[in-house]
């Protein structure tokens, strides 16, 4: 009978809840058609029609050191790369398939180079691994919810042996856990159900899989998608964790309105995975990039609700992160250079969200993130004057005095900060006030 060890769990998660900000990288053959990472499924492309991308794949500009430096400069603390996405193409040298980067013109183990580059920059490193595999003959085809041949009766499942697929999948996870040094995160994706199959939990032989992973990589953090997809929470939330419970909840393309608490109201560890535009993999015509000021505020929002932000980039077919993404990362990095103290190791403040922004907290220090100015002195609702030791502008260290104006007299129980006569905040995106409590 599995017994959840809270002490071991919290020890394992300590660096992760300190880090708060990471880079997701979706990259593979699908960067060539450049219509998103699900292109084979959405367009119902046969294996034969997809293979020319394998024959063509040669990312001449691939230099993961550039990716790692961009992540670090943005203030990110960890990176996660798709070692294998749903199409089954492996960016690592697996002995169990020919459908891998070392067999392309590129001829390189791209995962190994990625992990070495991330570690060289002092970043934690993780690998995404798809539980699905549209290339493998023993994975369900016809009638499956996602397979490219789901609607094609020529691809019936007679003769397909799912146990063969599971052996293959487990062997590949073993390779990743054995051949590449310490992994900090394993990001499995994803469980689902359809009319024919319950592709969840023990369907993947999840207990056996996680026991193997924990034996080989005892410190690794695992997401919750052996049990659910991005739209579920899993057994740790239920308060009855399975051996393959996720270490964190993985909401996708949404920031939970109130953070995430388990069934009994206890805060949980979670990470919002979010794209910069509207696709995970490179999409040539998707120019709908979120501006850097928005992404900074979304990072702050995640931390203020007790969560992490995993922000995605989708490099192109040559291996370059799109310039729009690099520009946003640069702007985020400039803000983080001055204000990362209000992000790393911070979490919920236990104070209601103010009208002017959000609050993060680390111990006896509150960080008031001001997204907009107010009229008159700035109210710091939720604390009393006798609690305040001092207030500083986090970016400059400059003292911010307590306001003493007749206009605040009707509100004796509220602390007001004097930001001076300029109606424009020093940082128009997010000016952070560091409030040290006694």
Structurally, the chain folds into a number of domains equal to: 2
Residue 48 in any domain: the answer is yes
Tell me: do 321 and 394 sit in the same domain: no
Peptide bond connecting 266 to the previous residue in cis, omega within 30 degrees of 0: no
Residue 286 in any domain: the answer is yes
Distance CA 17, CA 348 (A): 12
Residue 347 in any domain: the answer is no
Give the pair of three-digit tokens for residue 354.
Answer: 């103010």
Domain-ending residue, one of 311, 342, 373: 342
SS3 state at 125: strand
Residue 327 in any domain: the answer is yes
Tell me: do 326 and 382 sit in the same domain: no
Tell me: do 172 and 45 sit in the same domain: yes
Domain-ending residue, one of 342, 374, 389: 342
Residue 382 in any domain: the answer is yes
Tell me: do 67 and 156 sit in the same domain: yes
Domain-ending residue, one of 288, 307, 342: 342
Average pLDDT, stretch 170-194?
Answer: 97
CATH number at 419 reads 2.60.40.1180
CATH number at 228 reads 3.20.20.80
Sign of the C-alpha dihedral computed for residues 68, 25, 323 and 299 taken in this order: negative
- Measured in residues, the chain has a length of 438
> What pLDDT score was predicted for residue 231?
86
Q: In this model, does residue 194 exceed pLDDT 90?
A: no
> What pLDDT score was predicted for residue 196?
73
Tell me: do 251 and 105 sit in the same domain: yes
Tell me: do 383 and 295 sit in the same domain: no
CB 219 within 8 A of CB 244: no
Residue 401 in any domain: the answer is yes
Tell me: do 195 and 74 sit in the same domain: yes
Tell me: do 400 and 333 sit in the same domain: no
pLDDT tens-digit readout, 205-253? 999 999 999 999 999 999 999 999 988 899 999 999 999 999 999 999 9
Q: What is the DSSP letter of 135?
A: S
CA distances from 232 to 85, 131, 224, 250, 259 (A): 20, 17, 9, 8, 14
Q: Which domain holds residue 366?
A: 357-437
Residue 1 in any domain: the answer is no
* Residue 425 CA neighbour count, 13 Å, CB half: 21
Tell me: do 303 and 370 sit in the same domain: no
- Single pTM value for the model: 0.98
Residue 352 in any domain: the answer is no
Tell me: do 297 and 394 sit in the same domain: no
Q: In this model, does residue 195 exceed pLDDT 80?
A: no
Tell me: do 313 and 386 sit in the same domain: no
The residue written with tokens 């069934």 in the block is 263
Tell me: do 366 and 223 sit in the same domain: no
pLDDT tens-digit readout, 125-180? 999 999 999 999 999 999 999 999 999 999 999 999 999 999 999 999 999 999 99
């Amino acid at each position: 009978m599995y017994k959840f060890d809270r002490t071991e769990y919290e020890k394992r998660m300590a660096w992760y809840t300190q880090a708060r900000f990471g880079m997701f990288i979706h990259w593979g053959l699908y960067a060539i058609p450049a219509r998103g990472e699900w292109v084979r499924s959405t367009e119902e492309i046969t294996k034969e029609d997809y293979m020319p991308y394998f024959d063509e794949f040669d990312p001449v500009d691939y230099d993961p050191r550039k990716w790692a430096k961009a992540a670090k400069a943005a203030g990110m603390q960890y990176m996660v790369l798709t070692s294998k996405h749903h199409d089954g193409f492996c960016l690592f040298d697996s002995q169990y398939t020919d459908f891998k980067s070392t067999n392309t013109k590129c001829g390189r183990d791209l995962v190994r180079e990625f992990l070495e580059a991330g570690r060289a920059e002092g970043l934690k490193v993780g690998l995404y691994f798809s539980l699905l595999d549209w290339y493998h003959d023993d994975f369900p085809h016809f009638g499956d919810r996602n397979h490219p041949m789901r609607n094609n009766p020529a691809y019936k499942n007679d003769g397909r042996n799912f146990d063969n697929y599971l052996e293959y999948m487990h062997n590949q996870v073993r390779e990743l856990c054995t051949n590449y040094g310490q992994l900090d995160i394993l990001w499995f994706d994803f469980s689902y159900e359809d009319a024919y199959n319950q592709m969840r939990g023990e369907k993947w032989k999840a207990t056996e899989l996680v026991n193997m992973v924990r034996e080989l990589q005892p410190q690794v953090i695992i997401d919750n998608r052996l049990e659910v997809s991005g739209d579920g929470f899993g057994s740790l939330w239920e308060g009855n964790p399975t051996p393959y419970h996720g270490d964190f909840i993985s909401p996708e393309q949404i920031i939970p309105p109130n953070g995430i608490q388990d069934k009994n109201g206890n805060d949980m560890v979670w990470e919002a995975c979010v794209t910069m535009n509207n696709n995970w993999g490179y999409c040539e015509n998707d120019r709908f990039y979120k501006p850097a000021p928005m992404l900074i505020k979304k990072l702050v929002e995640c931390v203020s609700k007790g969560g992490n932000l995993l922000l995605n980039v989708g490099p192109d077919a040559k291996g370059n992160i799109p310039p729009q993404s690099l520009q946003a990362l640069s702007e985020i990095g400039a803000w983080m250079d001055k204000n990362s103290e209000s992000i790393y190791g911070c979490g919920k403040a236990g104070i209601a969200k103010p009208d002017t922004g959000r609050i993060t907290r680390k111990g006896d220090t509150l960080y008031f993130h001001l997204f907009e100015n107010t009229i008159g002195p700035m109210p710091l609702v939720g604390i009393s004057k006798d609690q305040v030791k001092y207030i500083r502008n986090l970016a400059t260290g400059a003292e911010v005095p307590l306001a003493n104006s007749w206009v605040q007299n009707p509100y004796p129980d509220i602390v007001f900060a004097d930001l001076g006569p300029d109606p424009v905040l020093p940082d128009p995106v997010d000016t952070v006030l560091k409030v040290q409590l006694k």
